[in-house]
Amino acid sequence: MFLQHFSGNFRRLTLGTMAIIALAIAPTFAQSPLKVYPVSTVSASSGNKVADFTWLEDGKPVSLSEVGKNKVIFLNFWATWCAPCRKEIPDILELMTEFPDTEFIVIGVSVDRDADVTNTVSKFVRAKKVTYPVIISNDKLLEAYGGISNIPSTFIINKDGSVSEKILGGKSKEEFKTAVKKAMISKTVNK
């Protein structure tokens, strides 16, 4: 090793500097864990509540009702090939910073249907730096939410699990923010 020829203090200083540089640039090369999950089960809606669904996260079932308990849920149906869907992703990511995560959650639902859908969606999510969970839908999930004939389609869900607003088509961050604020002031809460 070339550092053998240097004194102990210089060697320690050089190694320490190299370690600091490595730690500083490591986040640049590290991949954040992808949050792309196929839907596992779908429960029918009951009363005015939206349909619940689950996915497996690290081998454990997670449900919309669980992650969204006492929160306003921004449930966005989209596809990788949809231009308005791609356009609104930066606004959705910015919107996430506007509300505390103790009161607000974003869940994306991909309606993509190609042969290697998990890989397609994962690559897209990584490229777009999507930080919210993305669920890969199935026909049962789409039917449970009214068939989803338009994308993007976004459901703003109150803290009690009912739909505050259904938004069809791409919208701006400000339009989304207005809809979320409206749901935030709702007095109903999950028990």
For the chain, domain boundaries: 1-30, 36-184
Q: What is the C-alpha separation between 89 and 131, in angstroms, rounded? A: 10
Q: Are 146 and 172 in contact (CB under 8 A)?
A: no
Low-confidence ranges of the chain (pLDDT < 70): 1-34, 45-47, 187-191
Predicted confidence at residue 41, as pLDDT, reads: 76
Listed residue (39, 58, 62) closest to 144, CA to CA: 39
Query: Which residues are CB-contacts of 104 (< 8 A; sequence separation ≥ 6)?
Result: 71, 72, 74, 96, 180, 184
**Cα-based distances in Å from 79 to 18, 23, 163:** 43, 36, 22
Instruction: Output the six-digit token pair for 176.
Output: 């989304």
Tens of pLDDT, residue by residue over 23-52, are: 444 443 334 456 788 887 787 766 678 899
Q: What is the C-alpha separation between 132 and 74, in angstroms, rounded? A: 11
**Cα-based distances in Å from 187 to 33, 73, 98, 103, 190:** 35, 15, 20, 13, 10
* pTM of the full structure: 0.79
Predicted confidence at residue 188, as pLDDT, reads: 53
Matching CATH number, 36-184, of 3.40.1190.20, 3.40.190.10, 3.30.365.10, 3.40.30.10: 3.40.30.10
Q: What is the DSSP letter of 5?
A: G
Q: What is the DSSP letter of 108?
A: E
Q: What is the C-alpha separation between 128 and 87, in angstroms, rounded? A: 10
Coil, strand or helix at 7: coil
Q: What is the C-alpha separation between 36 and 80, in angstroms, rounded? A: 13
Predicted confidence at residue 18, as pLDDT, reads: 47
